[in-house]
A and B are shown apart, each in its own frame.
Chain A
Amino acid sequence: MNTLKYVLQVISRSRFRSTIIFLLFFVTTVCLFGTGLFTGNLKSGSQKLYGRTYADMIAVPEEYLDSAKDMLFKGKTCSIMFRGDALSDIGSISGVQAVSPQLYLETLELSCCSDGGIQVVAFDPDTDFAVSQWTDSAKELSGYQALAGSGGSLRKGDTIMLFDREFTVTDVLEETGMGYDNSIFIPYDAADEITSSDKYEFMFGKKSGLVSMLLIRKLPETDINDLSQRITEVISESGAKVYPIDDLASDLRSHIDFMAKMTGIVSGFAVVIAAVALFAMVTLSFHQRRRVAGSMISAGCPRGKVLRLFLSEYLTLFAAGAAAGIVLVCIFLLPLHEELKSALDMPYKLISPAGAVSLAARTLGIDLAMLAAAVSFTFAGILRTEPALLMEEQV
C-alpha cells in the first residue's frame, strides 16, 4: 500500500479528528491570509495618497475643504467652483515648481438605478502633473476625448454622454484605490465649454475659467510651511487657502494604521488559539494512536516510515485546509472589491499579484511552523519510546 492511499484511508476512517485538524488549518489560513490581504489592500491604497495627486499642496476655498478632502481621499462626488484668476500669480512665486488646476463637476444621478452621479474631473493637459502619472495619454487629451477611471466598465474606444456631449474614452487609468476610480477625466477646454453654455447656466452660471482645486508642486529645497504662507497671502482675495497634502492625509493615515493594527491583533489571537488547539489535537490523537505506531514498529516497519506516514497525514490535511482557506478568502474579497472600497470610505487598492503570492507563502509558512511545533513533540515521543511501551495500555 502506498503512502497516499494509506493516508487517505486513515483520514476517511477517522473523520472527526481529520475534520477538526482540517478546520484548524482552515481557520488559521482564513485569519492570516484574509486579514493580511485586507490590511495589505488598505495600506496599498494609503501609500497612493501622496503619489496619486503628485502634489505637495492644494489650494481650495476654505468652506469647501471638507468636500475637497472627501473627493480627494474618499472619492465622494462633488462640485466645487471658484474663479481661477490667482493661478498665474501662484506660478510666479519663488519655490513653486508647477501649478495645475482641476475642476470637479458632478453629473445628476439616475434615481432608477444608480447610487450617485458621475464625478467628472477636468484637467489642463498642458500643465498637468497629476493625471499624467497614471497614463501617458493624459498629455495628448483634447476636444471631446476622455480618460476613464479603472472602477467603471468603460474600455478604450467606448463613448459616454456627459452634459449632452459625447466623449470618447482614449485610455483607462490604473487603479488608484479611491473614488477617483469611478471618475471621468476630460480636458479643461471641454469643461469650459460646458460651464459657459446656455443650457447649463442653472448649474454653472455661464462662467468659464472656473477652478475647483489648484494642485501645487514645490521645488525640492523649499520649506513647505513658508511657501504655503506666501501662497495664501497671494490668493487671500479669492477666498482660497493652501493646505499641505500630508497634513490633510494624516488623519486618514492614522485611521488606516489603527484599523490595520486592530485586525492584526484579532488575527493574532485567532492564530494563537488555533495553534494551541492544533498542538492539543495532535498530542491527544497521538496518545490514542501510540499502539498503532508501536505495532507497526514491532512488525518491522522502520521508525522513519512510521513518522513519514503520520507526517503525510497531517501535511495532507494542512494542504487541504490551507487551500480551502485561500480559495474562500479570494471568493469573498475579489468579487466584492468595489463594494468593500465604497463601504470603507477610505483608500483601498488590491495589492499586486506578487504581493498576494508573498502573503500566501507567509501564511503557509506560519501554518507549517504551527504543524512542525505540534508534531515535533509527538515524533520525539515515537523516536524515544520502545515499541513495547508504545503498545502498553494507558489508563
Chain B
Amino acid sequence: MRVLNARRVGAAVLATATAAFMTGTVFAQEMTMWVRDGTAANAGKVLVDLWNESRPDNRIELTVIPNLQMVTKLATSIAAGEPPDLISLDLIYMPDFMKADSLVDISDEAAENPNFDKVIDAYKDISSYEGRTYGTGFAPDVSVIAWNKDLFREAGLDPEKPPRTIYEIHEMAKKIAALGDDTYGFYFAGSCPGCNIFVTSPLMVAGGAKILPRDGEDTALEGEAVKEVLQVYRDMWTEGLVPESAETDNGANFVSGFTNGNVGIAGTGGFVIPLMESDFPDLDYGVALLPGLEEGQVSGFVGGDTIAIPRGSKNEELAREFINWVLTDEAQLEGLAKNGILPVRADLATDNKYFADQPKVQVTAEALKVGYVPWVFHFADMVNSDASPWINMLQRAVFDGEIDEAIEEARERMIEIAGE
C-alpha cells in the first residue's frame, strides 16, 4: 500500500539503509530477493542479514524496488521468465498473482510446518486461493488511531481516553480545533488512496460496512457506516477541523500530519511507533483501535507484506527453506521483534521480551488480530491508483459534499472492475 511509502519513515532507517546497500553489493549472490520500499524493506534487511550471517554459502541478495514499480516489475519479470527467487510484496496483490498462477504453491510446507498455522489469520487468509497456500506473512503492519495527549489535556479532554466512536472523533476534534488557529482536530491525507483504505475504511468496516466486492456479482460499499463516516469527514472538513492542506495531500504528509504536533487525532499505522520513538520522543501520544459507529466496534486494516516464491524462481528449494526459516522463533524474535518490527506469528506478536513493556505495540498486535484485509482482485484498479473509484468517492463526498452520488458512482465502478 502506498501508505507505507511515506517518505518520513526513511529518516529512522537511513543509517541501516546505507549499510544494506554496502552489503548488498560486495558479496556474490546465491539467491535474489526483491522487497518493496518502506517498512518491508526494513524487515527484509534485518532478516536477510541474519540469514546471511549464518549461511555464507546460501547468501541472499536483497534488492529494494520503488513502491510504485513493484507489481509491474514483478509481473514483467515473471512473464519474462526471470523473476527473483523470493518476493516480499504488498499482501493486497496476492489474489491477483495467485489467480494467475504466478506464485509457487507451498501448501506442502504449510502442512508440514506447524509455524504456518500460528501466523496471524489475515496473512493466512490472503495467502491462500482455492484451498492452496502460496505464501505467508513477512512484514506486518496495521492501522490504528493516534491521539495527541498534550492537545487533549489543553482542550480539557481526558488524555487517557481515545475516541470510541466516529462521532466522538468529531466531538473531540471540535474541542481541540477550538484551541487556536494553528491547531486542528483531525487529519487525513485527502488525495492518497492507499492511506485512506488503510485508516478510513476500517472506520466503516468497524461500523459493519462491507467495502470492496470480490467479483462482479458481489456488493460494494454496503452498510450505513460508509455514509456515516463520509458524513463525519465532510462535517469536520466544512467546520475547519482539518487542515486545508489535507485536500491535496497525496500521502507525503500522511505521517507528518500527526507528528507535527498540531493535530489532535489521526489514523496512522503501527510503523510510526518506532519512528516516533527515534524522531519525536517528546510528543506525548497514544494509539488505540480504530472505532466504528457504536462503542465496542473496532477494526483495522491489516497491511504490510507477504513473502512468496515467484513462478520461475531458479532456487525454489532454497527459497522454501528461507520461508520456513522466517517463521522460526529465531527469525521472528531475534530478527523482527529485536529491531522493533512486529512478528507475524500471533503467538509471538506481543508475548515476547522485546514488546512486553510497550503498551503501544501491544495495541497494534491486538489490531492485527481484529483487523481485516480485503481478499479481492484488481485492488490496484479499484483502490490504489490515483484515479480509483475509492479515492474519487472520498474526494467527491468530503470536499464536494455529494455523498450519496459519490457512493453510488464508486459502487458501480467497483463492481464493474471486480467483474473483469
Q: Is B one of A's binding partners?
A: no
